[in-house]
Amino acid sequence: MINRMNSIKISKAGRLFILLILLQLTSSNLYAQNLLIPIETIHNALVLQVENNKDLNIVYFGKKLASSTEYNKIAAMYKQTGDYTGQLNSAYTPAGSRNLVEPAVAVTHADGNNSLDLRYLSHTNNKLNENVSLLSIRLKDPVYNFEVTLFYKSYFKEDVIEQWTEIKHTEKGSVVLQKFASANLHLKAGSFYLNQYHGDWAKEMQPEESKLSHGIKTLDSKLGTRANLFQPSVFMISMDKPATEDEGSVLYGAMEWSGNFKIDLELDYQDNLRIIAGMNNYASPYTLKPNEIFSTPAFLYTFSTSGKGDASRKLQSWARNYKLLDGKGTRLTLLNNWEATYFDFNEQKLAELLKDTKKLGVDFFLLDDGWFGNKYPRNDDHAGLGDWQENKKKLPNGISSLVKEAQNVGTKFGIWIEPEMVNPKSELYEKHPDWVIKQPKRDEYYFRNQLVLDLSNPKVQDFVYGIVDGLFTKNPTLAYIKWDCNAVIYNAYSSHLKNQSHFYIEYVKGLYKVLEKIRAKYPKVPMMLCSGGGGRVDYAALQYFTEFWPSDNTDPLERVFMQWEYSYFYPAISSSNHVTDWGKQPIKFRTDVAMMGKLGFDIVVSKLGENDLKFCQEAIKTYDAVKPIIWQGDQYRLSDPKENSVASIAYINEAKSAGIIFNYLVNYRYGAKSTQPIRLKGLDPNKKYTIKEINLYPGTNSSLDGAKGYSGDFLMKIGFNPDVNSGRSSVILKIEESK
Ligand code: GLA
């Protein structure tokens, strides 16, 4: 029978037909196996694909398609050189098997083997609410009991994705994680332009743009804490051409991690860009026990095809809605004594400053550094850090009496601490040398005469928590905390940890544990994230802080530039801007610049001339009236100080019925002024508006006619001239719909 079947002759045409059927079967099979997992937000899509062999690759990142059935046609449109590994576009590139490029994850298994392969197991997509979805994808090594779960939390309206991973295993012994990225992206474009930042004390957020060439460009930090001092983890990648404010495709990336980070931007041999971002694995191979879960922090990104301005508005609104502590709430204006007194004050002086706070009209007084330490008084920055008891000479009646005194004069009281730090000249250092980060066999090396406490140690965590808790317990009406962090970590070593390779990671996790505990008990008390100037802000920290200190450099001219750059990533409500005596600009210019975020003062009020004082008092009232627009409005950068003599930035409310426009002269050469009208953005073309100058210095009149009406159409096509010149170097405009 079988023989007879075998002997049946099939015609040539029949054979062709069967071949076609077979081919079709395999290709539909292929299609069925090539599962697509699109992560879509309102405008964009990140499309993952499960290959036949269960590799998980990225097949698309960009503007989303009208029909998701077409994502599987994209790959065929690219005729780039071959991929020798099948995983150049891996969604999470494992090291040591087929991979030939920078990995996202590298491990040494319990048996000493260094190879890893990760294949798709399953995925689940949970809609957390109307706007937020969480996709998780399980990957597993086919040979080892080693698993990675990739998480993608997407925010639909804001076009934002937060991505992180969890790593675990059930091998017969510990596994060492050599590299552990949070995310691995793969972008296709003709060329890529990186906009990155660098800096130092008083020079934070200096932008630099360059075309990426083949190979790896790394943005990283190895400072341990205040990790962003030389280089923050925020960056932009423009695709095909450098994006401008309103044009071009641009991705913003940022690590939500307050310690060492590493972001590799690899332009591979196929001309695609691989982005691998996570905690820095520098000096940090991590030993993971069976069944233990290693979670990476999130890498955050947004993408726009309408330029940098659109991307920043998405990020700002995401931050206010979902990340920044009390992002939709309010903030307090303040008078700080740092530059007014430095370490030189006593109860009497502070009592005067409390009165000045009231006179000025801000919400509270902030007592800065220098209030503590007795055996080693904090009279300069060489001693006292760690000894958080009131200095008896300066404050014989303690902080409590100051808090009460503030109440008596009708203001509030806030205080500065730097709880993660210790001066070698301190009782804390004498009592607990084992709480200090330092190498046992090496000389100590200092940053601002101080060392960092070992937050990987739970006892130190309790101590740091106790500083804050103690202050609030003794002074329940304490209104505010400025949390400083002035040193980096040298000689990284913890006498608490058995495995020193865990130090950098455990330090930051310890810090978060403390902050978590503080926020559990004091959910909304405003706290400023400060770090000897900037150098510490990121979105993991901002879950616990209401605001950050961008820089000790408060020269308003410098600030126009610096705040401009910060604003791409952080909303105005989070930016603490103080009026100080830095710079040569008049008080109006200094105040106007500080009003672009969260306003504060650090000046000697009693030394202000009559008109200067009057101006400041009025400015605070003006600010109080318009701050909801600045804090919650959409921000539009109108004229770039790097390119023009006049900088201009606008905040427009959601209803497009009101806005505030800040304008500054940034070029002091002869004749520099606003020669051209400045085009507005974000208005309703069909609405009618009036534009009035506000925050005028006493005795001056505006050169602008505030009664004239303009259509939104006119203001966005032609613009408006704020009449900025050397006699009017700072001009604030209020735009309002006229009905
Ligand atoms: C840092 C801060 C300043 C001030 C000093 C106090 O430099 O950035 O604002 O608080 O510490 O020592």
Ligand 1 atom nearest 368 alpha carbon:
10
Average pLDDT over residues 51-70: 97
Q: Which residues contact 73 (CB under 8 A, 6 or more apart)?
A: none
Extended beta strands in 612-681, E state = 634-639, 646-652, 658-665
Q: Is the pLDDT of residue 9 over 80?
A: no
* Separation between Cα atoms, residue 368 and residue 730, nearest integer Å: 30
Ligand 1 atom nearest 533 alpha carbon:
8
- DSSP for 91-134, please give it: SSPBSSSS--S--SEEEE-TTS------EEEEEEEEE-SSSEEE
Ligand 1 centroid – CA 484 distance (Å): 7
Does residue 58 contact residue 48 with C-beta atoms inside 8 Å? Answer: yes
Average pLDDT over residues 273-278: 98
Q: How many CB atoms lie within 10 A of CB 1?
A: 5
Ligand 1 atom nearest 602 alpha carbon:
9
Q: Model confidence at 739, in pLDDT bands (50, 70, 90)?
A: confident
Q: Does 486 sit in the ligand 1 pocket, CB within 6 Å?
A: yes
Q: Does 416 sit in the ligand 1 pocket, CB within 6 Å?
A: yes
* Separation between Cα atoms, residue 258 and residue 256, nearest integer Å: 7
Rounded to a whole number, what is the largest CA-CA distance in the chain? 115
* Separation between Cα atoms, residue 221 and residue 501, nearest integer Å: 16
Question: In this predicted structure, what is the pLDDT of residue 609?
Answer: 98
List the residue whose alpha carbon is closest to atom 8 of ligand 1: 532
List the residue whose alpha carbon is closest to atom 1 of ligand 1: 532
Average pLDDT over residues 685-695: 98
Tens digit of each residue's pLDDT (9 = 90 or more) over 234-265: 999 999 999 999 999 999 999 999 999 999 99
Q: Is the dihedral of CA 709, 711, 714, 719 positive or negative?
A: positive
Q: Does 384 sit in the ligand 1 pocket, CB within 6 Å?
A: no
Q: Which fold has domain 332-474+487-514?
A: TIM Barrel (3.20.20)
For 148, counting Cβ atoms within 10 Å of its Cβ (0-12 exposed, 13-18 middle, 19+ buried), the class is buried
* Separation between Cα atoms, residue 436 and residue 452, nearest integer Å: 6
Question: In this predicted structure, what is the pLDDT of residue 221?
Answer: 98
Ligand 1 centroid – CA 455 distance (Å): 21
List the residue whose alpha carbon is closest to atom 3 of ligand 1: 532
Ligand 1 centroid – CA 324 distance (Å): 22
Q: Does 353 sit in the ligand 1 pocket, CB within 6 Å?
A: no
Ligand 1 centroid – CA 369 distance (Å): 7
Residue spans per domain, the chain: 2-32, 35-323, 332-474+487-514, 526-600+609-632, 636-737
Mean pLDDT for the chain overall:
95
Question: In this predicted structure, what is the pLDDT of residue 16?
Answer: 52
**Candidates 1.10.287.3510, 2.40.50.140, 2.60.40.1180, 3.40.50.300; CATH matching 636-737:** 2.60.40.1180
Q: Is the pLDDT of residue 25 over 90?
A: no
Average pLDDT over residues 220-227: 97
Q: Does 371 sit in the ligand 1 pocket, CB within 6 Å?
A: no
Tens digit of each residue's pLDDT (9 = 90 or more) over 36-48: 999 999 999 999 9
Tens digit of each residue's pLDDT (9 = 90 or more) over 403-432: 999 999 999 999 999 999 999 999 999 999
Question: In this predicted structure, what is the pLDDT of residue 533?
Answer: 77
Question: Percent of the chain, pLDDT > 70?
Answer: 96
Q: Is the pLDDT of residue 541 over 80?
A: yes
Question: In this predicted structure, what is the pLDDT of residue 535?
Answer: 78
* Separation between Cα atoms, residue 401 and residue 371, nearest integer Å: 13
Tens digit of each residue's pLDDT (9 = 90 or more) over 498-513: 999 999 999 999 999 9
**Reported CATH class of domain 35-323:** mainly beta
Question: In this predicted structure, what is the pLDDT of residue 24?
Answer: 43
* Separation between Cα atoms, residue 396 and residue 628, nearest integer Å: 40
How many alpha carbons lie under 13 Å from residue 583 in its C-beta half-sphere? 23
Report the residue among 416, 529, 548, 554 best suited for mutation to probe ligand 1: largest number of ligand atoms under 8 A from its CB: 416
Average pLDDT over residues 329-354: 97
Q: Model confidence at 532, in pLDDT bands (50, 70, 90)?
A: confident
Structural element, H or E, at residue 503? helix 503-521
Q: Does 369 sit in the ligand 1 pocket, CB within 6 Å?
A: yes
Does residue 232 contact residue 538 with C-beta atoms inside 8 Å? Answer: yes
List the residue whose alpha carbon is closest to atom 11 of ligand 1: 532
Q: Does 576 sit in the ligand 1 pocket, CB within 6 Å?
A: no
Report the residue among 486, 551, 554, 578 best suited for mutation to probe ligand 1: largest number of ligand atoms under 8 A from its CB: 486
Q: Model confidence at 574, in pLDDT bands (50, 70, 90)?
A: very high
Question: In this predicted structure, what is the pLDDT of residue 112?
Answer: 98
Average pLDDT over residues 23-34: 47
Tens digit of each residue's pLDDT (9 = 90 or more) over 365-408: 999 999 999 999 999 999 999 999 999 999 999 999 999 999 99
Comparing CA positions, the residue from 180, 184, 51 lying closest to residue 116 is 180
Ligand 1 centroid – CA 532 distance (Å): 5
